[in-house]
């Protein structure tokens, strides 16, 4: 950069600065650097105190003055530039505001045109007389009321069906409870324990009661009347004479007569389609339980399976020395002699009447034990101990027989 100093006629000085294409910040920095260098040089020359040093100091002062003048000019130019930029920015801001206002005005014009061109749908509606309008409104009101009544009717019908289903369920439960109350104590104990075991542990075990409910009611009433009559006859001494009036055949029938209600439980297995049904019958006169068994097979399978897997093959020998031959009750031998029968006639008579066999495990299942005197809690304990093991034994033996037959 070169600096030239001239003086005009008025005595004012004009500074002509040839600048390169440099930014104002860079020019300021160069001026400050040169001014600092001049100050350092002047300070060094003052130490010399010679005429030549004095001349150089004067020249340095002139150069420093010119740099100060240049700084002032740069400052004025910078201020001027800032003012121009502010004016430009202010103009741009005003222009932007103007464009926004013009855009809003244009939008308002469009909305106004839409409002002028809007056509309501009610302009196409034909007006009707007041009487016709009221009549139509009445019809609409009646239609709405009928829809509401129809909905309420459907809801009430559904509630009625739900109540009917619940009533049927309660009725079935009530019928079951009525049957349970008619069961003799051994069958009642077996039924309750098997139901509890099925509900809590073994879902593949189903339990039910079968038989003639009306006959059971009659027997229950006759039993009560007989007890009252026996008490009266014993007091009057006529008990033995009434017993002797019965024929021998009638005595035998009474001895082998079973209770009209029986307990049936069905055993199924997870991986086999075949199921096994066990029926418990109670003979009140003899005082023990007999058992019948039946294999239920699919209709597609051969009936040879059911013929081979008989009751004797499944229920017999579930436990050691329990073949169902003979009575578990020691009193039975004397009861048979009383009707002129022998011990070997017991199973024959039971087979003729299709009552099954008196297995020992069946007596345990029903809480009957003839070997010792039991207190109130012992039958239930005996039944509790028998149920789980018995179901497992029957299922194990049934599975083994079926697997052996299939192979």
Please report, in tens digits, the pLDDT of each residue of the chain (407 residues total): 333 433 343 333 333 334 433 577 888 888 888 888 888 888 888 888 788 888 888 888 888 888 888 888 888 888 888 888 888 877 778 888 888 999 999 999 999 988 888 777 777 777 778 888 888 888 999 999 999 999 999 999 999 888 888 888 787 777 788 888 889 999 999 999 999 999 998 888 999 999 888 888 888 888 778 777 765 655 554 444 445 567 888 888 888 888 999 999 999 888 777 888 999 999 998 989 999 988 887 655 555 565 666 666 788 878 888 888 888 888 888 888 888 888 888 888 888 888 889 999 999 889 888 765 545 456 677 777 788 888 888 888 888 877 776 65
Question: Rounded distance, CA 54 to CA 304, Å?
Answer: 145
Signed CA dihedral, 161, 167, 173, 175: sign only: negative
For 16-27, the three-class secondary structure string (H helix, E strand, C coil) is: EECCCCCCHHHH
- Give the rounded distance of the alpha carbon of 216 from its chain centre: 44
Q: Which two tokens stand for residue 82?
A: 């800032």
> Beta strands of 63-169 (E only): which ranges?
none
- Rounded CA separation 137/7 (Å): 107
Contacts 24+ apart (CB under 8 A), 311-319: 311/356, 311/357, 313/401, 314/276, 314/394, 314/397, 314/398, 314/401, 315/278, 315/291, 315/357, 315/359, 315/394, 316/357, 316/359, 318/359, 318/361, 318/390, 318/393, 318/394, 318/397, 319/360, 319/361, 319/393
Q: What does the alpha-carbon distance between residue 311 and residue 354 come to, in Å, rounded to a whole number?
A: 12
How is residue 156 written in tokens? Answer: 């009430």
Helices 130-182 and 213-236: crossing angle, nearest 10°? 40
Please give the C-alpha separations between residue 400 and each of 206, 301, 404, in angstroms, as whole numbers. 21, 18, 6
What backbone phi and psi angles, to 5 degrees, belong to 328? -75, -10
pLDDT of the residue at 238: 46
Please give the pLDDT value at position 11.
37
**What local confidence, expressed as pLDDT, does residue 282 receive?**
94
Are 195 and 207 a contacting pair, CB within 8 Å? Answer: yes
Ordered by start, the domain boundaries in the chain are 3-93, 185-406
DSSP one-letter string for 88-106 = HHHHHHHHHHHHHHHHHHH
The phi and psi torsions of 247 (rounded to 5 degrees) equal -75, 165
Rg of the chain's alpha carbons, rounded to an integer? 60
Burial 120-131 (b: 16+ CB within 10 A, else e): eeeeeeeeeeee
Q: What is d(CA 195, CA 203) in angstroms, rounded to the nearest whole number?
A: 10
| Residue 9: per-residue pLDDT | 36
């Amino acid at each position: 950069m070169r600096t030239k100093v001239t003086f005009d006629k008025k005595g004012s000085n004009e500074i002509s600065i040839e600048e390169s294409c440099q930014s104002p910040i860079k020019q300021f920095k160069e001026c400050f650097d040169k001014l600092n260098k001049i100050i350092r040089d002047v300070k060094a020359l003052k130490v010399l105190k010679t005429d030549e040093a004095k001349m150089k100091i004067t020249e340095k002062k002139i150069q420093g003055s010119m740099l100060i003048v240049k700084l002032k000019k740069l400052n004025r130019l910078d201020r001027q530039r800032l003012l121009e930029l502010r004016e430009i920015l202010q103009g741009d801001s005003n222009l932007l505001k103007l464009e926004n206002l013009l855009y809003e005005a244009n939008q308002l014009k469009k909305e106004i045109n839409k409002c002028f061109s809007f056509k309501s749908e009610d302009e196409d509606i034909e007006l009707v007389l007041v009487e016709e309008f009221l009549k139509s409104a009445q019809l609409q009101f009646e239609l709405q009321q009928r829809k509401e009544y129809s909905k309420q009717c459907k809801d009430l019908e559904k509630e009625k069906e739900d109540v009917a289903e619940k009533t049927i369920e309660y009725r079935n439960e009530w019928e079951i409870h009525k049957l349970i109350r008619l069961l003799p104590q051994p069958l009642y104990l077996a039924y309750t324990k098997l139901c509890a075991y099925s509900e809590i542990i073994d879902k593949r075990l189903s339990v039910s009661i079968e038989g003639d409910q009306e006959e059971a009611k009659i027997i229950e009433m006759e039993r009560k009347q007989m007890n009252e009559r026996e008490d009266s006859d014993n007091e009057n001494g006529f008990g033995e004479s009434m017993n002797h009036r019965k024929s021998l055949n009638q005595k035998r029938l009474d001895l082998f007569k079973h209770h009209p209600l029986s307990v049936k439980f069905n055993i199924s297995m997870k991986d086999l389609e075949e199921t096994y049904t066990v029926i418990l019958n109670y003979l009140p006169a003899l005082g023990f339980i007999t058992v019948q068994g039946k294999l239920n097979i699919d209709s597609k399978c051969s009936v040879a399976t059911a013929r081979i897997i008989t009751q004797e093959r499944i229920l017999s020998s579930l436990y050691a020395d329990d073949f169902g031959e003979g009575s578990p009750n020691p009193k039975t031998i004397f009861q048979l002699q009383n009707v002129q029968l022998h011990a070997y006639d017991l199973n024959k008579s039971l087979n003729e009447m299709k009552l099954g066999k008196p297995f020992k495990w069946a007596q345990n299942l029903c809480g009957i034990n003839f070997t010792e005197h039991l207190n109130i809690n012992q039958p239930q304990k005996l039944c509790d101990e028998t149920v789980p093991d018995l179901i497992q034994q029957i299922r194990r033996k049934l599975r083994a027989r079926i697997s052996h037959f299939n192979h």
